[in-house]
Amino acid sequence: MTQLLRHPYGDIDDLAAAYADHTPKDLLSGLINDVFGARIALVSSFGAESAVLLHMISQIKADAPVIFLDTGKLFAETLAYQQKLSARLGLKNVQIMRPDPIHEADFDPDLDLSQTNTAVCCFFRKTVPLRKALRGYPAWITGRKSYQAQTRAHLPRFERDGLHIKVNPLANWTPEHVAQYMESHELPAHPLVAKGFPSIGCSDCTTPVASGEDARAGRWRGQDQTECGIHFAGGKLVRASAA
């Protein structure tokens, strides 16, 4: 029902039309400086391609909110990269969200739930902390791109996510755009990229990807799940990924 209501900050079709010709950085600048102010947050996994949006944000407003979900199951390399990249870019408002310890004790006391029930594991490790983090932010930004997987082939720049507006500034970027941006701004790569991980999530549920596979083929490999539950469409959970 909430999907049908006009958002207080405007209709997503109007926003999409107003920013149709803007580059990703200009789009972000407009949304942060002219539309949402401090009420829009970037949700970043500090994964393989996250440096692009993090760099743009650092150039526009270094104290813009950045939400990082530390699921308790991330690679050690991701945690180190988050620290290193945040310092390098001078990010001043990185908010680290973690699962509720009570949920972890109740649902995953042996820390092996990812082997038997990924839906519940993702729900208390990702979905609940994100929903908590987004209180107070009517809009959020993701790093998703249409080339990452077939399930994202028609990704728009603006979406409604229940009461939130979700913005995908890089929706129509190609891998070449990302590579060029990383190179021209001398951004450090996530250390696992060189080891065959073009998409990086939790260590329990991420494998390297072979040549020719979707970038996200290594996420929940061999399972029906392709999204972690932080992305919704039409008010329903898309059982298909995260940023």
The footprint of ligand SF4 (CB under 6 A) covers: 71, 73, 114, 118, 121-122, 125-126, 201-202, 204-205, 228
- The nearest distance, CB 222 to ligand SF4, in angstroms, is 13
Q: In terms of CB distance, is 173 or 232 closer to ligand SF4?
A: 232
Decide if 205 is catalytic.
no
Catalytic residue among 121, 122, 202, 228: 228
Least distance to ligand SF4, CB of residue 30, Å: 33
Is 186 within 8 Å of 213 (Cβ atoms)? no
Q: How far apart are CA 13 and CA 114, in angstroms?
A: 38
Q: Which residue has the tokens 């329903």?
A: 236
Q: SS3 for 127?
A: helix
78/146 with CB nearer ligand SF4 = 78
What are the structure tokens assigned to 54, written together?
A: 């993090």
The answer for residues whose C-beta is within 8 angstroms of residue 76's C-beta and 6 or more apart is none
Listed residue (138, 168, 176, 157) closest to 40, CA to CA: 138
Provide the minimum distance between the beta carbon of 205 and ligand SF4 in the complex, in angstroms, as a whole number: 3
Q: What CA–CA distance (Å, rounded) separates 216 from 207?
A: 9
- Min separation Cβ 115 and ligand SF4, Å: 9
79 membership: H or E segment, kind and range: helix 76-89
Question: How far is the CA of 114 from the CAs of 46, 47, 72, 223, 231, in angstroms?
Answer: 21, 20, 12, 11, 19
In whole angstroms, give the CA distance from residue 76 to residue 144. Answer: 23
How many CB atoms lie under 10 A from the CB of residue 153?
A: 9
Q: In angstroms, give the least distance from the CB of 124 to ligand SF4.
A: 8
Q: Which residue is nearest to ligand SF4 (CB)?
A: 202
Q: Give me the sign of the Cα torsion angle 223, 132, 68, 136.
A: positive
Residue (171 or 205) nearer to ligand SF4, CB? 205
Our CB check for ligand SF4 shows the closer of 143 and 169 to be: 143
Minimum CB distance to ligand SF4 smaller for 152 or for 157: 152
Annotated active-site positions, please?
A: 228
